[in-house]
Amino acid sequence: MKKVLVLGASGGIGYALVNELVSRGIEVVAFARGKEKLEKLYGHEKKVTIFQGDALVDLDVTDASQGVDVIFHAVSFPYQEWEQTHPICVDVMIRAAKSVKAKIAFVDNVYAYGRQLELVTEETEKAPHTKKGKLRLEMESTLKNSNVPTLIVHMPDVYGPNCANTILHETLKNVIQNKTANFVGSMKVAREYLYTLDAAKTMIELASREDTYNQNWNIPASRPITGEELLELFRKEFGYTKSFRSISKSMIRLMGIFQPFMKEMVEMMYLTKEPVVLSGKKYEASVGALSSTTYQEGLSNTLKWMEKESKKELLV
């Protein structure tokens, strides 16, 4: 890869992808709707071209795609807008990729797998039972039937620098202030949280090869971890003295009366009781060792980034 386009470059995964690509000497077109945030994140990077645009508009994405080898899709939309946005976004990206003869590297979650009680491999049959899971599977089918070389990468919940609007961020934003923090789901169930830089390194490695396309790939976290373990880690390593408040499905449903996002989150709460745990054996057998940052290091880097950004906001 010599030049790539990252759609959704102002989000958590997009930010990690852009920085890792630049560290490898690859030219990047960083695409998002908010030019101010793009300038803030990448204005100092010589290998980054900032492109303000709408991922739902053909002309914007096609113009941004000129001369690129791979289009990375890391676009996020609010839950309540998924049905109206994601299918259009995928179609727009496919048309752009065809027009410039580029490949597609698609960031996906675990929703399409549905309920799974065993370790999930790429061969596990997908049986989504939620509307969001069914939509993700439809998007996957659209990509596979597009005749564009595509790799689809499944990831669990993520965390990392510049990674807001995630389940773990809801906890971190109060931990950093040493306040009682909300923790979504049971404190006793071990779930995966993938550090965004690990996700980026692994995905870029896949995208840089010729034999990885037209396949699905799983990127697991370093290990599943419970809320209780996270609380102990914050207290031991980061001086956190408060506690977590477990947020149940019924509480989310109540919050959904006033917040559209929370209303849409209710159907995904099964993952806090029956988490999908991904196997990385295919990657390890085909490519090599997975990038695997410990929670201690990953959370330390994330909290430092949040503190730095908080101080910048106070100076404005």
Q: How far is CA 234 from CA 172, 197, 301, in A?
A: 10, 20, 13
Average pLDDT over every residue of 279-301: 97
Highest mean pLDDT among 93-107, 159-173, 260-274: 93-107
- Tell me, yes or no, whether 240 lies in a domain: no
How big is the chain by its Cα radius of gyration, in Å?
A: 19
Indicate whether 104 pLDDT > 90.
Answer: yes
- Tell me, yes or no, whether 208 lies in a domain: yes
Indicate the number of domains in the chain.
1
- Tell me, yes or no, whether 308 lies in a domain: no
Q: Are 269 and 183 in contact (CB under 8 A)?
A: no
CB crowding 129-155: b at 16 or more within 10 Å, else e:
ebebbbbbbebbeebeebebbbbbbbb
Average pLDDT over every residue of 248-263: 79
Indicate whether 47 pLDDT > 90.
Answer: yes
The rounded percent of the chain whose pLDDT value lies above 70 is 98
Average pLDDT over every residue of 112-127: 96
Q: Are 286 and 212 in contact (CB under 8 A)?
A: yes
DSSP 226-291: -HHHHHHHHHHHH---S-EEEEPHHHHHHHTTT-HHHHHHGGGTHHHHS---B--HHHHHHT-PPP
- Tell me, yes or no, whether 11 lies in a domain: yes
Lowest mean pLDDT among 35-39, 222-226, 246-250: 246-250
What is the number of other CB atoms lying within 10 angstroms of the CB of residue 100?
A: 15
Task: Share the mean pLDDT of the chain.
Answer: 95
Taking only the tens place, the pLDDT of each residue in 180-225 is 999 999 999 999 999 999 999 999 999 999 999 999 999 999 999 9
125 by Cβ neighbours in 10 Å (0-12 / 13-18 / 19+) ranks as: exposed
Indicate whether 298 pLDDT > 90.
Answer: yes
Residue-level pLDDT at 256: 73
* CATH number of the domain where residue 203 is located: 3.40.50.720
In sequence order, what are the beta bridge partners of 103?
70
Residue-level pLDDT at 314: 63
Residue-level pLDDT at 44: 94
CA–CA distance, 121 with 277 (Å, rounded to integer): 9
- Tell me, yes or no, whether 43 lies in a domain: yes
Residue-level pLDDT at 312: 75
Model confidence band, residue 30 (pLDDT cutoffs 50, 70, 90)? very high
Q: Where are the alpha helices (DSSP H) in the chain?
A: 12-23, 35-42, 58-64, 82-100, 131-144, 167-175, 196-207, 227-238, 249-255, 260-265, 270-273, 281-286, 295-315
Indicate whether 261 pLDDT > 80.
Answer: no
Cβ within 8 Å of residue 94, ≥6 positions away: 104, 142, 143, 146, 148
- Domain membership of residue 198 as a residue range: 3-162+193-223+276-293
Q: Are 247 and 185 in contact (CB under 8 A)?
A: yes
Lowest mean pLDDT among 52-61, 107-116, 248-257: 248-257
Indicate whether 316 pLDDT > 70.
Answer: no
Higher per-residue confidence, 205 vs 250: 205
CA–CA distance, 12 with 249 (Å, rounded to integer): 26
Residue-level pLDDT at 315: 59
Residue-level pLDDT at 254: 83
Model confidence band, residue 263 (pLDDT cutoffs 50, 70, 90)? confident
- Tell me, yes or no, whether 133 lies in a domain: yes
Q: How far is CA 308 from CA 56, 167, 169, 194, 303, in A?
A: 33, 21, 16, 22, 9
- Tell me, yes or no, whether 67 lies in a domain: yes
Q: Whose CA is closest to 161, among 111, 109, 198?
A: 198
Write out the H or E segment, with its range, that includes residue 48. strand 48-52
- Tell me, yes or no, whether 184 lies in a domain: no
End-to-end, the C-alpha distance of the chain in Å comes to 38
